[in-house]
Amino acid sequence: MKQIIHIVGNRPQFIKLAVLYKAIEARKIARQQILHTGQHHSQEMSGIFFDDLALPAPHIQLQIENTDPDQFIAHTTRQLQHYLAAEQPGAVMIYGDTNTTYAAAMAAARTGQSLHHFEAGVRTGDLKAPEEINRLLADRLSSVHYCCTLHNLQTLKAEGYGTAITATPFFTGDLMLDAYLKIPEDASFKPETTSYVACTIHRAEHILVKKNLEAIIDALNDLHRQIPVIVPLHPHTQKKITEAGLTVSFRIIPPLGYPQMKAFIKQAAFIITDSGGVSREAYFAEKPSLVVMARPVWPEIIRSGAGLACAPHRDAILNTFIQLAQHTPNYKAALFGYGNAAQNICDHLSDSL
């Protein structure tokens, strides 16, 4: 039986992994290993997800300090190369667009592995964003491309995938939707208020650029005077808020595990986020969402009428939120498939392995 190595490092990757790992295990397609790069390594950003999602502990967890992105990518790539060269798995599975994805793609390519990229074909066109570089490189080096949406599939085909560049990409649907449908929310999670804005802010171009961070914090402070704003705050975002000396008047809570986060979104009146994962979860929960990105990761959501988007500017956020409160969302389009992405990927793996 051949081996699949899943290389993961952050919250959204753990969620996608949980669904696919269990599907592969149930069908006995291959032996599996989980390699955790440590990109998110704390209990609140990593351990809690392995516990909540009933995932086995990683077979390998790298101990690499994640304070400088370039050093993290370099050290991770080097260690992954050594490991993959020794193991020679039947397939390496990578997820999304993080620095873990970038490092894993480089290591797999340099050691001649069959590289399978889930969430292929996502594009914003913003080459200043590290995630866009990661997506482009991961897709270019991958042998197999699994697409969450038909738009992603069409993007890859328009770029030449499936012709001269590589094998035909696949539309599988979204493992995040599988997870949303299969993993129950924490029924005990009850915010102190019944009508609130659930908000997440973590994107590098927002928290590392002081004027953007100030604008977002100012807007959330203003909104909080009208309707409670609750933010499960990423530790790195908290650090940057403190370093910038910004005053926060909205409510901050610790990061949430998946069942708690699902309940948090389902009980909210509105969602404000700069997260590709949370914007999808808002769509699944049929909640009006404001995506704080000039170029959203999932333009499908905006085009379908399910949400609105804006740049990270104070007035833009406030004005767009007013529109959101008056907006009639449309959730009818099955943008991310039908909750069978793991089975679709398993079907392909069964044939290819």
Residue type, 238: Q
The answer to whether residues 169 and 119 belong to one domain is yes
Predicted confidence at residue 41, as pLDDT, reads 57
Structure tokens at 67: 């304070």
Q: Are residues 348 and 318 in the same domain?
A: no
Each residue's pLDDT tens digit, 170-193: 999 999 999 999 999 999 999 888
Whether 180 maps to a domain, the answer reads no
User: Which of helix, strand or coil describes residue 7?
Assistant: strand
In a domain, 185, yes or no: no
Q: Are 307 and 335 in contact (CB under 8 A)?
A: no
Q: Does residue 297 share a domain with residue 252?
A: yes
Helices 11-27 + 341-352 axis angle, to 10:
60
Whether residue 166 is found in the same domain as residue 216: no
Please report whether residue 181 resides in a domain: no
Q: How many whole angstroms separate alpha carbon 54 and alpha carbon 73?
A: 28
Q: Is 33 exposed, middle or buried (0-12, 13-18, 19+ CB in 10 A)?
A: middle
pLDDT attached to residue 48:
78
Q: Is residue 262 domain-resident?
A: yes
Mean of pLDDT over the chain? 94
- Distance, C-alpha 308 to centroid of its chain: 19
Quote the pLDDT of residue 163: 86
317 & 341 share domain: no
Q: Is residue 33 within 8 Å of 3, Cβ to Cβ?
A: yes
Tell me, yes or no, whether 38 lies in a domain. Answer: yes
**β-strands 197-200, 270-273: how paired?**
parallel
The whole-number pLDDT of residue 64 equals 85
Q: 73 and 44, same structural domain?
A: yes
Integer Cα distance of 312 and 306 in angstroms: 20
- Give the closest residue to 223 by CA, choosing from 199, 194, 254, 242: 199
Same domain, 22 and 135: yes
pLDDT tens string 258-277: 999 999 999 999 999 999 99
∠ CA 235-291-150 to the nearest 5 degrees?
Answer: 115
pLDDT at 236: 86
Q: Phi then psi for 89, rounded to 5 degrees?
A: -70, 165
Q: Are residues 12 and 125 in the same domain?
A: yes
Q: Please count the structural domains in the chain.
A: 2
Question: Integer distance in angstroms from the first to the last C-alpha of the chain?
Answer: 9
What does the buried/exposed string (b/e) look like for 230-262 if buried means 16 or more CB atoms within 10 Å of the residue's CB? bbbbbebbbebbeeeeeebebbeeebbbbbbbb
Please give the sequence-ordered ranges of beta strands (E in DSSP) within 188-321, or none if there are none: 197-200, 229-232, 251-253, 270-273, 289-292, 307-310
Torsion of CA 98, 83, 48, 17, to 10 degrees: 60
Residue 183 lies in a domain: no
User: Does 86 lie in the same domain as 51?
Assistant: yes
In angstroms, what CA-CA distances link 304 with 157, 297, 333?
A: 22, 14, 7
d(CA 281, CA 289): 10
User: Which structural domain, as residue segments, surrounds residue 236?
Assistant: 197-325
Classify residue 291 as left (phi > 0), alpha (psi -120 to 50) or beta: beta
Q: What is the pLDDT of residues 307-322, one digit of tens each?
A: 999 999 999 999 999 9
Question: Quick one: which H or E segment has residue 108?
Answer: helix 99-110
166 and 17 in one domain?
Answer: yes
Residue 187 lies in a domain: no
Whether 188 is in a domain gets the answer no
pLDDT tens for residues 208-252?
A: 899 999 999 999 999 999 999 999 998 889 999 999 999 999 999
| Helix ranges (DSSP H) in 111-250 | 130-141, 150-158, 175-182, 204-207, 210-224, 235-243
pLDDT beneath 70: ranges in the chain: 40-47, 165
Do 348 and 266 share a structural domain?
A: no
CB count within 10 Å of CB 195 equals: 11
Claim to verify: residue 153 and residue 78 sit in the same structural domain: yes
Quote the pLDDT of residue 39: 78
Q: For residue 151, what is the domain's CATH number?
A: 3.40.50.2000
